[in-house]
Copies of this chain bind each other. A is one copy, B any other.
């Protein structure tokens, strides 16, 4: 009797094994693989019959799946899924303790991640409190009413601008991402009219280009939607509507967590409005 040399013993190994073989699996087994990865709790606790029903599969398929992965049977595979529950359980408390006590149990990298996660959660809670519904609505008014939307963000703010540019385009809005490619920035800005909208994203230290573009736009009567930090931003006086975000910050490094969250919310909020308008028309 040969042993199952390739049967994973840890959950992460199992996860990797499933992911790796996904292409070589038959359709039904892939269906199980998908269910298993997204419902590991069920895999660990429910019975074969239950899992089979929820995944829309025959019980025997689950045994086939287990054997394909090198296990003796379903029971043996389920044991691995159960280790995930027991292994991660005490870790949770330990990790928090390690974080607060500054214990050496964690590597530097994961401690950084812990900090950013905590800071990110704080930033999101802060965002919830600080951002008023009226500001959001006014921002959406601008986005909805504009003929063309120009989005500008430099350096660290560029990813946000890129996301907004992409997502606004997908919503069917005429959108231009002012990326300054080929030094065409000022020419692009010349084309903006007062029926358009400039979305300017900038955080401290504020990009001079972005501030200048904002000023040009404001001088020409172009509406400006500013996404910036609340404290004394040069964008604020130039923008008709300002959305203030104080994003997470650890050791001087600013995260984009909360800003991205707000950007996505803007997009979805706008999408809903457009849907509603289309339906009401």
Contact = CB atoms under 8 A, between A and B. Distances in A.
A6 interface: no
Contact of A41 (B37, B91, B254, B267): B91
Contact of A236 (B20, B112, B250, B253): B20
A136 B113 contact: yes
A26 interface: no
Contact of A108 (B162, B233, B272): B272
Nearest to A105: B272
Interface size on A, as a range, is 35 or more
A185 interface: no
Interface in A102-131: 106-110, 112-117, 120-121, 124-125, 127-129, 131
A168 interface: no
A5 interface: no
A206 interface: no
Interface stretch (A57-65, A82-90, A191-199, A216-224): A82-90
Given A133-B108, A237-B22, A272-B106, A162 B158 contact: yes
A255 interface: yes
Contacts of A129: 88, 92
A117 B112 contact: no
Number of this chain's copies in the assembly equals 2
A120 B110 contact: no
A1 interface: no
Given A109-B137, A255-B260, A41 B156 contact: no
A41 B86 contact: yes
A40 B158 CA distance: 30
B117 A37 contact: no
Contacts of A281: none
Interface in A37-72: 37-41, 44-45
Given A19-B236, A131-B113, A253-B268, A159 B156 contact: no
Given A89-B85, A260-B257, A19 B233 contact: yes
Given A20-B237, A233-B19, A260-B256, A133 B121 contact: no
B113 A128 contact: yes
Point out which of A23, A120, A124 has the most chain B C-beta atoms below 10 A from its C-beta.
Answer: A120
3 tightest CB-CB pairs across the interface, nearest first?
Answer: A159-B159, A110-B133, A109-B269
